Homo-oligomer: A and B are copies of this chain.
Amino acid sequence: MSVSKTAAAEGGRMGKEGAEAGAEGLALQLGELSELLGYSLKRAQLKIFEDFLRCVAPLQLTPAQFSVLLLLDRNPGRNQTEIASTLGILRPNFVAMLDGLESRDLCARIRSANDRRSHILELTDKGRAVLARAKKLVASKHEARLNELLGPANRAALLAMLTKIAQEF
């Protein structure tokens, strides 16, 4: 297997990985690990989520909760199954999540008149307000920092490739 070394060369701004000229133990070599896309993908994802949590900390929202609020705002009149499935959340696990949001008065379950099995989900006024504030924090702090690191064009290219992987892989 022959792998181009260009990315490895661009990736690090130092010749060797983590060249800490410390006391005794030399830094470990990542080796082929730095060429494994899944490895970088996972580490990048952890960093991104970590930063997201920091940026939106005043609102106490996790990425998953934020995605639910976004989806409820954009898709009124949907029930739990529909919202959960489009987010890749299993119905049983979505119950506790909704309990959390509802107990904070960010959304509400409404018994449907047509189908009394299902609960229509809707944002409360407070939910809409929190979502609006969250959007601003995410845009001004989180995504802005990404744009600063990568540049708008690269950020767009990255998003497009990730979306492609998520959809077609």
Contact = CB atoms under 8 A, between A and B. Distances in A.
Interface in A43-81: 43-49, 51-52, 63, 67, 70-71, 73-75, 78
Interface stretch (A90-98, A101-109, A122-130, A135-143): A135-143
B159 A40 contact: yes
A110 interface: no
Interface in A125-164: 135-136, 138-140, 142-143, 145-146, 149-150, 152-164
A157 B71 contact: no
The interface size bin for chain A is 35 or more
28 contacts: A1-B135, A1-B139, A1-B143, A1-B154, A3-B157, A4-B156, A7-B157, A7-B160, A9-B160, A10-B164, A28-B74, A28-B75, A28-B78, A31-B71, A33-B70, A33-B71, A36-B143, A38-B48, A38-B63, A38-B142, A40-B162, A43-B166, A45-B45, A48-B165, A146-B169, A150-B161, A157-B157, A158-B161
A167 to B, nearest CB: 7
Majority secondary structure, A binding face: helix
Interface of A: 1-12, 25, 27-49, 51-52, 63, 67, 70-71, 73-75, 78, 82-83, 86, 88, 135-136, 138-140, 142-143, 145-146, 149-150, 152-169
A42 B166 CA distance: 9
Contacts of A150: 161, 164-165
